[in-house]
Amino acid sequence: LARAERAVGILLVGLLLGWLGGGCANLAAPAEAEMYQVSTLQAIVEGVYDGVIPVGELRRHGDFGIGTFHGLDGELVMVDGFLAQVKGDGAVVVPLDTMTTPLACVTWFAPGRTVPVPAGMNLAGFTAWLDGELGNLNLPYAVRVRGDFRRVKTRSVPAQRKPYPRLAEVTATQAVFELAATRGDIVGFRLPGYFGGINLPGYHLHYLNDAHTQGGHLLDVETGDGVVVEIQALRRLSLILPEGGDFATAELSGDKSAELRKAEQ
Ligand SMILES: [Zn+2]
């Protein structure tokens, strides 16, 4: 696959977010919960869809997360170490470890808090409510919402061929799936605004049902009874960037927030 064509450049940012506000003592603290990110969402907006690392390597950095696959071949969801590929037609398959990812965010999920979620909330209501529960919105969080949902609306995208179109062109033709009375996990991240150059500030969530037959990038939801959200604050970031390929020449300095939100929400 594409991996053989390219050396992978590894930039370990090792950004100790706590250091900024808490003093140097944090540098000596034991391993903080780490968010491990492959490439940047802004590169995906620009159509940089070539895989950067194999998903087998991704598994070494977490058991929980979201992303996509080489050529934008569907949505990646990882829950409890189970890695799913939600294809463009909605089919859920287990990808080979040799498949590569051009964009992913994973962590070893170890939630510090579990909070009951009110029933009957849509995605906008849920995220506003969860912001209030989180309190400190200047840290990134991994969140897992478990239970019964009255309704889940997801999307996925079909694999693209070179020359790759921009993300907005792909999502304009995305397949949307409306799931009713479904039980499963919403997994993803809530990122502070200062992540805006490398990712999407706010919530980015994917869904996988318990039967591992349905899922995708979450567009909307209606929570049912007995839903809980598990929350993990993250204080360390590793960012793995492509060494070359399309990434080398992509225009990544401009503000892509409007195009990004349109494509992801
Ligand atoms: Zn997504």
CA of 180 to the centre of ligand 1 (A): 20
Q: Cα(65) to centroid of ligand 1, in Å?
A: 10
For residue 92, the CA-to-ligand 1 centroid distance in Å is 15
Pick from 35-49, 227-241, 247-261: least confident: 247-261
Answer yes or no: are the C-beta atoms of 231 and 109 closer than 8 Å: no
Ligand 1 centre and the CA of 21: distance in Å?
Answer: 30
- The amino acid at 60: R
The Cα–Cα gap between 75 and 259 comes to 19
Q: Ligand 1 centroid to 66 CA: how many Å?
A: 7
**How remote is the CA of residue 248 from the centroid of ligand 1, in Å?**
23
In angstroms, what is the span from residue 217 Cα to ligand 1's centroid?
A: 4
Residue 128, helix vs strand vs coil: helix
Quote the CA–CA distance of 24 and 177 in Å, as a whole number.
48
DSSP category for residue 197: T
Q: Tokens 């995220």 belong to which residue?
A: 127
- Looking up tokens 């204080």 gives 235
Q: What is the pLDDT of residue 13?
A: 45
Rounded distance from Cα 207 to ligand 1 centre (Å): 9
Q: What is the pLDDT of residues 141-177, one digit of tens each?
A: 999 999 999 999 999 999 999 999 999 999 998 999 9
CA of 9 to the centre of ligand 1 (A): 24
In the reported structure, the alpha carbon of residue 28 is separated from the centroid of ligand 1 by a whole-number distance in angstroms of 34
Q: pLDDT, tens digit, for every residue of 194-246?
A: 999 999 999 999 999 999 999 999 999 999 999 999 999 999 999 999 999 99
pLDDT at 16 over 50: no
**Residue 9 scores a pLDDT above 50:** no
Residues in the chain: 265
Q: Which residues pair with 142 in a beta bridge?
A: 189, 232
The pTM assigned to this predicted structure is 0.88
Distance 67 CA to ligand 1 centre (A): 6
- Residue 14 pLDDT greater than 80, yes or no: no
- Calculate how far, in angstroms, residue 75's C-alpha sits from the geometric centre of ligand 1: 6
